[in-house]
Amino acid sequence: DAGVIQSPRHEVTEMGQEVTLRCKPISGHNSLFWYRQTMMRGLELLIYFNNNVPIDDSGMPEDRFSAKMPNASFSTLKIQPSEPRDSAVYFCASSLRTSGAYNEQFFGPGTRLTVL
Amino acid sequence: GNSVTQMEGPVTLSEEAFLTINCTYTATGYPSLFWYVQYPGEGLQLLLKATKADDKGSNKGFEATYRKETTSFHLEKGSVQVSDSAVYFCALTPQGGTYKYIFGTGTRLKVLA
């Protein structure tokens, strides 16, 4: 299995630009998560999808952030406009939820975002 | 609220040394406890877990025991290798099962040959 795939691996952009991060979960998984990792705040859950539906977006920092999951094999996290404080590593993770049980989350390699 | 506290890093050891990374938690009831490892340039991988008190999780020579009385889940390995160099995260999910992991801040381990 290819694992969770994220693109790009590195992104450098200027303040005010739109940034789109992409994620392909593991085939057959029905839950998808976006996390942000910074030195100051550690690893934070931004949003959780189950069966392509956003279940919990309470971690999305502000309206500049949006996430979509148009189908079971693709999700995007968009920042518009981007700001320097958005610089972080963004991880996508997927898992298989069965009969109400939340199983192990498998993480992608992350996208390192730098906003100048 | 729920929280996880890990020892500050970095931890630098020589190959074949004994490793302990401390982790304590705050949570009501009986959370599930996890150790994740992040190798350079990669995402987090589940290393081991324990879901009830006194359980011992183990994998790849690493062990951790769920201690309810001390609210701890310390990670140990008897003989580290250079390939163990990574960042280690302690985490919990609250009792009852949830998708929400509470992660510690991570401890960087560097093993020297």
pLDDT tens, residue by residue, A79-92: 999 999 999 999 99
Give A87's strand partners: none
Q: Which residue carries 């008190």 as its tokens?
A: B53
pLDDT > 70: percent of chain A: 97
Q: How far apart are CA A98 and CA A114, in angstroms?
A: 37
User: Looking at chain A from residue 36 to 65, which residues have their Cβ under 8 Å from any Cβ of chain B?
Assistant: 42-43, 45, 48, 56
Interface contact B99-A56, CB threshold 8 A: yes
| pLDDT, mean of residues B68-84 | 97
Structure tokens at A71: 């189908």
Q: How far apart are CA B77 and CA B43, in angstroms?
A: 22
Question: pLDDT tens digit string along B26-56?
Answer: 998 889 999 999 998 888 999 999 998 999 9
Interface contact B101-A105, CB threshold 8 A: yes
Residue B38 to chain A, least CA–CA distance (Å): 9
pLDDT > 90: percent of chain A: 83
Q: Cβ atoms within 10 A of the Cβ of A95, count? A: 23
The predicted structure's pLDDT at residue A40: 85
